[in-house]
Structures are given as C-alpha cells and as structure tokens.
Amino acid sequence: MPYLGIDGGGTKTEFIMIDKKGNKLYYLKEKSIDYKRIGRKKFTYIIKKSINRIVKETKIKLDDIEYTFLGIPCYGDELTKQEEKDIDMIVKKILGNNNYKLGNDVEAGWAGSLACKPGINLVAGTGAIGFGKDAKGNKTRASGWGHKIGDEGSAYWLGSRLLNAFTKQADERKKKTLIYSLVRQRLSLKNDFEIINLITDKNNFGRKEVANLALILYEAASNGDEEAVKIYRKAANELSRVVIAINNKLDFVEKEVTVTYSGGVFNAGDLILKPLKNILSEQNFVLEKPILKPVTGAALYALILDNNKKSTDKIVNKLKRKEGVVTIDG
C-alpha cells in the first residue's frame, strides 16, 4: 500500500513514496513545478516523467498507489480558478484516479514540520509565510504576499533592511557600524554610490540576490553589531505577528499551541530564534524544531487522508529515523 508525497517549490520538487508502515520506498528530486513560471506543458512533463520513473524503479503499478498529496506553489492563492482546474485535470489524467489531494506547498511544510498534528508552521526563506491547522481541520495562512509588498521577516526583507542601514550609515544619518564596512567589502564597492547601479541592475541583482545579502547581516550580527542584531529582533517581531494572526483565525483547544519553523532565515540560530521564542512564550505558544521534511510530511498526509488515521506516532518515528536529521534550509 504505497503513498506518494510531492512537495513542489520555487527551485525544486521532491517526490517520496512510503508504505503504510512508514518505510521509504523511493525518493526523487526534480525541477520546480511552479505552474505560474513554467506553464502547463512543462508542469505536465515533470509530473508525468517523475511518477513514471518512480513506478518503474519500484516496480509498483500506477493503480496500486493508494493516495497522493501534491503540494503545489501558489495553489489556493496566486493561481486562477481556471489554472487550478487545469492542474486538477492534469494530475487526474496522469494518476488515472481520484485518489489524491491538491494543496499549497506550505501545507506540505505544515504536514512535515508538525507531522500533521494541530499547530502553526512558519516559513522564512527567500520569502515568508505561515500556515496553521487546528484539530477540527480548519486551516488558514498569513503573510506570503510577495517581496514587493510583504514577506516581512524573510531573507529578502533582511537583505533590504541591510541595504537601508548601509545607505543611512554612508550618509552619516546613522553611526557607522560593522554593517557599513562589510557591505563595502563583500560587494567590492569602490565608493558608496556604486551600490545604486548594482542593486538596480535587474539582470544581475534580483530577488534572490537581495535575499542572499542576509548572509552579510548574519556576519555583522554574529560579530556583535547592535544594528544588525536589532534588525533580527524586528524580523522576529514580524514573524510573531504571523503566528498570532493565524492563531486568531483558528480554534486551537490546546493550552500551548505548537509553532514550528523552516527556511534559511532560521539558520541564524539564536539571533532570530531567541527573540522569537521570547515573544511567543508570552502568548502561550511553544516554539519547536520541525519533525519531518515537507516532502515526507506530504506522504504522511496522503496516508492519513486515505485512512483517516488518528494515531500515527509509530509511523512518524520510523519516518524520522529513516530521514535522519531534519535540516531547516530552504
């Protein structure tokens, strides 16, 4: 009784097949299935090619896949109703049955980080978003509006705040700190104004490059730069608001609501986690590391949706052992 989990992201898509006891049968990593960016033809090709490879390698018939959960970028928000209908038709044709569920990739993140238990998952990578589900099955999200108008607390947001701090220090509107010298060094600036042409060159400096500047901020903060540390505190405050917003829209019965986290921003460790934990603990939230990876969570979710399973502790423990250490990159 195999179950298939698919976690689609902006840069890659992961596939994993497990059996009903939590044994991993197959894992595959492919290119992104971001429908908005790659279109119908490439989306269909990647999904079909990947599933065909999985059934071929495992010698499992397509009809024998009990259930599939697909986490798809932009599903339920940025995609139009027609695009969602198109995706549904594509998946149904490839699988040849109705034994699947489509959802946003952030739902796969929740399923992995909380092992499909009630709670809230925060994602802060290049962008930022939060997703939560209560015991009644109610679900909601907050943030994730994109880097141009939102994504507060994300790596892009941190990179933007770094640039803002640099320009103010260059003008001496603020006292020069390590941020100023590190930005000049890491970006090889001969004079401060070179940063204008660098940042406005869309061919060489886009969303991802601005997000990567968070590494400079981390370097400054790790060396005691108070301005950099302050930016991380502000990021923690923004992310805590995402959690509170989700909590207010759901009906959690637990005394302490579990909040998990994933995404590259959290690789900053205590710089982001300590202030976030302090804020959330005052609001009766408990911050914990993710249990499983999103793709493994997607497969577990498929199993639960098919069997309406309530207790999955043994399965989760096996999946966790097989998966090894859960990383928070992303």
**125 and 239 co-located in one domain:** yes
**How high is the mean pLDDT in each 10-residue block of the chain (330 residues)?**
89 90 91 88 94 93 93 86 93 91 91 94 90 93 88 95 96 95 94 89 80 95 96 97 96 92 91 96 92 92 83 83 49
| Of the candidates 108, 129, 70, the residue with the CA atom closest to the CA atom of residue 290 | 108
pLDDT value of position 330? 37
pLDDT value of position 78? 83
- The residue range of the domain holding 33 is 3-115+291-323
Per the domain annotation, does 329 fall within a domain? no
What's the CATH code of the domain at 64?
3.30.420.40
**280 and 298 co-located in one domain:** no
Number of domains forming the structure of the chain: 2
**101 and 180 co-located in one domain:** no
pLDDT value of position 278? 95
Per the domain annotation, does 147 fall within a domain? yes
**262 and 312 co-located in one domain:** no
Specify the pairing of strand 257-262 against strand 119-124.
Answer: parallel
pLDDT value of position 327? 39
**67 and 198 co-located in one domain:** no
Per the domain annotation, does 204 fall within a domain? yes
Per the domain annotation, does 162 fall within a domain? yes
Per the domain annotation, does 155 fall within a domain? yes
pTM assigned to the model: 0.85
Per the domain annotation, does 328 fall within a domain? no
Per the domain annotation, does 110 fall within a domain? yes
**178 and 227 co-located in one domain:** yes
pLDDT value of position 92? 94
Residue with the two structure tokens 């009644």: 136
**125 and 28 co-located in one domain:** no
pLDDT value of position 125? 86
**138 and 283 co-located in one domain:** yes
Token output for 40: 């119908």
- Burial label for 249, CB within 10 Å (0-12, 13-18, 19+), is middle
pLDDT value of position 18? 93
**184 and 255 co-located in one domain:** yes
pLDDT value of position 326? 40
pLDDT value of position 325? 41
Residue with the two structure tokens 């024998």: 64
Using the CB atoms, write b or e for 2-39: b if 16+ within 10 Å. Answer: bbbbbbbbbeebbbbbbbeebeebbbbebbbbbbeebe
Q: To 10 degrees, the CA torsion angle through 254, 281, 215, 145?
A: 50
Per the domain annotation, does 330 fall within a domain? no
